[in-house]
Structure 1
Amino acid sequence: MIGRLVRTNLIIGVRSYVYPIYILIALAYGLMLLAFPEQYLPTMVPIFLIIEPSLVGFMFVGTEIFAEKKDGAIGALAVTPIEWRSYILAKTFLLSILSIVGAVLIMAIGTRSLSGIPYVVIGTFFVSIVYTLLGIGISARYRDLDDYFVPMLGVMIVSLLPFVHYHGYLTHEVWKILYVIPSYPALHFFKAPFEEISRNTLTWSASGLVIWAVVAYYIARIRFYKYAVEGVR
């Protein structure tokens, strides 16, 4: 069932140009990185990797949800044998794979190297799952991108704050709360190709992202069924 839904989502995403645009954005990011001197890449590549798999994915999954609401595809889940949980998992899996493709393109083009790519792939996979599920859960309540814009902007701003803290610009003790934001553990994986990150740090980072994925799944499951499938306003 999930495999069939993945194929269907892929076909729809390609035909609607959503997924090709996603890949083109990754290509654009990789080309933009070519403009930076090599010494800036350890700083710039991770921030582009955070934006691409997580924040862009968060926006795109909302766009897909709105389009499928208008087409009646989501409403049909309430009266068809298709399991709506399978719908969520299929969309999450597909966008995670696309995110990995995008991240590899950014690394390959932007750094002209694939050194440390396993760290990037792992970090991208986990953080994409988290933000895709959050995107499904949050966007389920809204009808179009205009309504979704404010929460989307809020999530983007909050998700970029760990990058600022990591580089020492937010030094007060209160900013340690940023450790709980999912983009922070992902940042460790994206920095690993450029600097020494301990195995213990990466293990804790992966554990944090797994916990976030579980939490995000429950948020998506509850809110998607309530607002998208049942149509509660």
Structure 2
Amino acid sequence: MMKNLLKTNLVIGVRSYVYPIYVLIGLAYGLMLMAFPEQYLPAMVPIFLLFEPGLVGFMFVGTEIFAEKKDGAIGALAVTPMDWKSYIIAKTLLLSVLSIIGAILIMAIGTRSLNGLPYVIIGVFLVSVVYTLLGIGISAKYHDLDDYFVPILAVMVVSLLPFAHYHGYLTHSVWKALYIVPSYPALYFFKAPFEEISRGTLALSGIALLLWSAIAYHLAKIRFYKYAVEGLR
């Protein structure tokens, strides 16, 4: 079942140009980073790495679900004895793999180096899982990108705030609440190629993203079945 779902999602994603565009965005980000002087890369690369698997993935998975609703794919699958958990996992795995490809392009082209790539791959995979699952859970209630725009904007703003806090722009103690935002632990993985990050910090960051993955999966499972499968309003 999982193999067939992965194959089906891959074919649909390629035919609809969603997946090729996803990879091309990673290529474009890498080319954009080439325009920055080398001293700015430690600050800019992590932002682009978050945009690729996180914010772009959050938007694209919603677009996929809208398309599958409109062409009747979800409605057709709803009458089959399919395990919807497998559907959610298959879509999440595919987008996570594409995110890794995009991250490699960003590092290889944008920094002309693959130093610290294992840290980046781990961070990208985990944060992609979180944001893709959140995208599935949140977008399930909407029917087009216009309705989904406000959630996208809200997630984008909140997810970028940890960068400002990390670099010392948000100094009030109240901003420590940003540590719970999933982009914050991901930031440590994306910073690891450029500065010394302790293994303890990376381990805690990984645990935090795994916890977020569990929360996001639970949200996606409940909301997707409620709104996309059953069609409740």
| TM-score, structure 2 normalization | 0.99
Alignment partner, residue 140 of structure 1: 140
After TM superposition, give the deviation of residue 164 of structure 1 in Å: 0.7
Alignment partner, residue 87 of structure 1: 87
Distance in 1 between residues matched to 2:54 and 2:151, nearest whole Å: 15
CA contact (8 A) 1:182 1:212 kept: yes
After TM superposition, give the deviation of residue 71 of structure 1 in Å: 1.0
* More displaced stretch, 176-185 vs 69-78: 69-78
1:79-118 deviations in Å (ceiling 9; x for gaps): 1022111100000000000000000100000000100000
Alignment partner, residue 111 of structure 1: 111
Distance in 2 between residues matched to 1:193 and 1:143, nearest whole Å: 40
After TM superposition, give the deviation of residue 78 of structure 1 in Å: 2.4
Alignment partner, residue 202 of structure 1: 202
- Extract unaligned runs of 5+ from structure 2: none
Distance in 2 between residues matched to 1:181 and 1:75, nearest whole Å: 34
CA RMSD of superposed structures (Å): 0.6
CA contact (8 A) 1:77 1:84 kept: no
- Give the secondary structure class of the aligned counterpart of 1:82: coil
- Give the secondary structure class of the aligned counterpart of 2:73: coil
- Extract unaligned runs of 5+ from structure 1: none
After TM superposition, give the deviation of residue 76 of structure 1 in Å: 2.3
Moved over 3 A (4+): none
1:47-72 deviations in Å (ceiling 9; x for gaps): 10011110000000000000000011
Alignment partner, residue 72 of structure 2: 72
Sequence identity (%): 77
Which letter does structure 2 place at the counterpart of 1:27?
Answer: L
Alignment partner, residue 153 of structure 1: 153
Alignment partner, residue 175 of structure 2: 175
After TM superposition, give the deviation of residue 73 of structure 1 in Å: 1.1
